[in-house]
Amino acid sequence: MSDLKVVLTTPPTYGGVTFAERFTTERGKGVPNFPLGYLMSYQKAYGDTSVDYKVIEARLEGLTPRQTLRRIERFDPDIVGMGLLTGIAEDCYRFAKLLKKNLDATVIGGNYHLTRFPEEGLENGFDIVTRGESEIQFTALIDAYTTGRNLSGIRGISYRNNGEIVHNEWQRPVENLDSIPFPDWEPCPTEFYLFSEGRGSMITTRHCPNNCRFCQPERERKRKYRPYRERSPGNVVDEMEWQIENFGVNEMFIADDNALANIKRVERICDEIKERRIDIGLYCGGRADAICRGGENFLRKLIDAGLRMLYMGVENREDWILKRYNKQETSEQIDKALKLCHKLDVPVLTSFIIGPYDDPFTVIKTMARCFKSMGVQVTIYQPLPDTIDFEERLRRGEKLSKNWSDYTLTTCITEDNRMSKRQIEILHKLAVISLNVNPYQLIRYPRQTFFKVKKTVSAIADRR
CB 143 within 8 A of CB 47: yes
Instruction: Give tens-digit pLDDT for 406-425.
Output: 998 999 999 989 999 999 99
Has residue 192 been placed in a domain? Answer: no
Q: Cα(4)–Cα(13) distance, rounded to whole angstroms?
A: 28
Write down which residue in 123, 150, 167 finishes a domain: 167
User: What's 156's domain CATH number?
Assistant: 3.40.50.2300
Has residue 177 been placed in a domain? Answer: no
* Owning domain of residue 131: 5-167
Has residue 42 been placed in a domain? Answer: yes
Same domain, 93 and 238: no
DSSP H or E run through 289? helix 288-305
Write down which residue in 167, 189, 211 finishes a domain: 167
Q: Cα(213)–Cα(392) distance, rounded to whole angstroms?
A: 10
Has residue 16 been placed in a domain? Answer: yes
Domains identified in the chain, total number: 2
Q: Print pLDDT tens along the chain (464 aa).
A: 458 999 999 999 886 555 455 444 444 678 899 999 999 999 999 999 999 999 999 999 999 999 999 999 999 999 999 999 999 999 999 999 999 999 999 999 999 999 999 999 999 999 999 999 999 999 999 999 999 889 999 999 999 999 999 999 999 999 999 999 999 999 999 999 988 889 999 999 999 999 999 999 988 888 888 899 999 999 999 999 999 999 999 999 999 999 999 999 999 999 999 999 999 999 999 999 999 999 999 999 999 999 999 999 999 999 999 999 999 999 999 999 999 999 999 999 999 999 999 999 999 999 988 877 877 889 999 999 999 999 999 999 998 888 999 998 999 999 989 999 999 999 999 998 887 666 655 555 555 544 444 444 444 344 33
Of the candidates 392, 423, 425, 397, the residue with the CA atom closest to the CA atom of residue 411: 425
Three-class DSSP category at 253: strand
CB 387 within 8 A of CB 214: yes
Same domain, 203 and 158: no
Same domain, 159 and 209: no
Same domain, 373 and 266: yes
Same domain, 338 and 223: yes
The CA-atom distances, in angstroms, between 204 and each of 71, 131, 220, 252, 292 are 33, 22, 24, 12, 21
CB 109 within 8 A of CB 86: no
User: What's 365's domain CATH number?
Assistant: 3.80.30.20
Instruction: Give tens-digit pLDDT for 184-235.
Output: 999 999 999 988 889 999 999 999 999 999 999 988 888 888 899 999 999 9
Of the candidates 366, 374, 301, the residue with the CA atom closest to the CA atom of residue 327: 366
**Helical spans, DSSP H, in 47-134:** 65-75, 89-102, 112-116, 118-122
Q: Cα(322)–Cα(331) distance, rounded to whole angstroms?
A: 8
SS (H, E, C) 148-195: CCCHHHCCCEEEEECCEEEECCCCCCCCCHHHCCCCCCCCCCHHHEHH
Same domain, 75 and 162: yes
- The gap between the terminal CA atoms of the chain, to the nearest Å, is 50
Same domain, 127 and 249: no
Same domain, 140 and 277: no
Same domain, 365 and 240: yes
Q: Cα(285)–Cα(136) distance, rounded to whole angstroms?
A: 28
Same domain, 203 and 162: no
CB 34 within 8 A of CB 42: no
Write down which residue in 167, 189, 206 finishes a domain: 167
Phi, psi of 43 (to 5 degrees): -65, -40
Has residue 281 been placed in a domain? Answer: yes
Has residue 187 been placed in a domain? Answer: no
Q: Cα(173)–Cα(177) distance, rounded to whole angstroms?
A: 10
Same domain, 427 and 304: yes
Same domain, 262 and 303: yes
Phi, psi of 56 (to 5 degrees): -120, 120
Single pTM value for the model: 0.90
Has residue 410 been placed in a domain? Answer: yes
Phi, psi of 442 (to 5 degrees): -60, -35
Has residue 202 been placed in a domain? Answer: yes
Q: Cα(61)–Cα(189) distance, rounded to whole angstroms?
A: 9
